[in-house]
Structures are given as C-alpha cells and as structure tokens.
Amino acid sequence: MNPTVTADNMNFIQRAFAEGGFVMYVIAVIAILAIFVIVERMMKLKNLAVDKKEFTDQIFRMVVAGDLRQAISYCDARPAPLTNTVKAGLVQAMNKRPDEEVQVAMDAAVMREMPKVEGWVSFLAVFGNVAVLAGLLGTIIGMIGSFRAVAAADPATKALELSKGISHALNCTAFGLLVAIISIVAYGLFQHRIQKTENEVVETSMSLLNLVVANREKIKD
C-alpha cells in the first residue's frame, strides 16, 4: 500500500470532519451503529445456516422409518430456526397428538424463531433514513453559516467565507448519503436472506406434516 495515498485519505477524512461540523460526528455514530448491526447479523446468520436438502433428507428418512426419537435428537444436534421448528412438530407427532396440534406447534415455533433471524435488521432502514436527514441538517446549517458569514464579511473575504460554508454543506451531504447507501443496501440483502429462511422453514414444516400424516402407523413408541 502506498503510504502517501493512505496519508492523503486520512487527511481528507480529518479535513472533512473539521469542515463538516458537529453533524459529521452524528453521522459517524450512525455509521458505527450500522456497521455493528451488519457484522452482528452476518455472523448470526452464518451460525444459524443449515443445509436444507441434507437436513430434510435425513429427517424425512427417519420419519418414514417411524423413528421420531432419532429425528428429534438429530434436530437437537443442529439448533437453528429450521431444526427447532421441525422438532416442535416431531415432538407433537411422537406424543400422538392430532394433525392440527402438530401444525399449531410448528406455526408457533416459526413465530418464536424468526425474530432470532431478523435481529435488529429493521434498524438499518432507520439508520439509512436518519443519515440522510442528518446530512441534510448539516447542509442547511452550513449554508446558513455561509450566508451569515458572507453578510458580515468585507468584500475581500466574501468568496472565502462562502466556500467554507459550501464545503461544510457538501461534506455532510456526502457522508450522510454514503452511510445511507450502505445501510439501505445491507437492509435489502438481509431482508432477502430472512425471507428466504422463513420460506424454507414454512415449506419444510408443511412437507413434514404431510409426511407424518402419511406415516402415522409407522411411528414407534
């Protein structure tokens, strides 16, 4: 890495914060919070990920064989929204509960498990909107300060004062938009991942219920 480029980048950031005023620090706090949520969700979703095909192949094989205890143990070894939802249905089926109760148990499990997947993702949209508004606030403050300074300045320094105010405004706008873009793009990607996970859980629970109904006579005590 070129040391000169790094030094120039650092000087640019420092200059931007110095010229942008206190609103730049507000935007920086929003950026830190957004990055924290993004990193935390990435790690959490990675830990909750399950190979759907492999899992369903194993579980369905055990259900067809009537060995629900082994299927429940298999779910316990891989705690995740998908496995916990399936386990809830298997427990009811093993206890010889009616089909309706098996479905209700899995539906309740979906409602219980999905918040674990979603986490604080919804705050990314909030951070994106607040970053834009903070940037706009900084822009307005910069322009107000600029016109006040120009009004009070002598003709020789009016151009300098005006350029300082415009610099203040544009720094806030640029950094606010940057944080907003990162937050909103991350929000969209996470929402896609969350919806995909929920669809997989619901689809698997419905398939499991149909399989249990078709193989109830094979269930072992």
- Cα(143)–Cα(166) distance, rounded to whole angstroms? 6
What is the structure's pLDDT at 111? Answer: 92
pLDDT recorded at residue 113 = 92
Nearest to 124 by CA among 195, 191, 172, 28: 191
pLDDT of residue 199: 92
Q: Does residue 108 belong to any structural domain of this protein?
A: yes
The reported pLDDT for the residue numbered 21 is: 73
pLDDT of residue 23: 85
Give domain status of residue 140, yes or no: yes
Domain contains 68: yes
pLDDT greater at residue 73 or residue 154: 73
pLDDT band at 153 (very low <50, low <70, confident <90, very high): low
Domain of residue 108, residue span? 21-213
Count: domains in the chain: 1
Of the candidate ranges 56-60, 154-158, 180-184, the one whose mean pLDDT is the lowest: 154-158
Tracing tokens 């937050």 back to the chain, one arrives at 183
3-7, 105-109, 152-156, 184-188: which has the highest mean pLDDT?
184-188
Q: How far is CA 100 from the centre of its chain?
A: 33
Residue with tokens 């979906």: 110
Task: Tell whether 73 is covered by a domain.
Answer: yes
Residue 109: inside a domain: yes
Q: Quick one: average pLDDT of 167-183?
A: 88
**Tokens in use for 158?**
């009016």
Over residues 134-152, the mean pLDDT reads: 79
Other C-beta atoms closer than 10 Å to the C-beta of 1 total: 5
Residue 14 belongs to a domain: no
Q: Exposed, middle or buried by CB within 10 Å (0-12, 13-18, 19+), for 85? A: buried
Apex 115 CA angle, 54 and 90, nearest 5: 45
Q: Which of the residue ranges 34-38, 61-65, 142-146 would you say has the lowest mean pLDDT?
A: 142-146
Percent of the chain with pLDDT strictly greater than 70: 84
Do 82 and 58 touch, CB atoms closer than 8 A? no
pLDDT at 49: 87
pLDDT at residue 112 greater than cutoff 90: yes
pLDDT number for residue 19: 66
Residue 13 lies in a domain: no
Confidence bin at 221 (pLDDT 50/70/90)? low
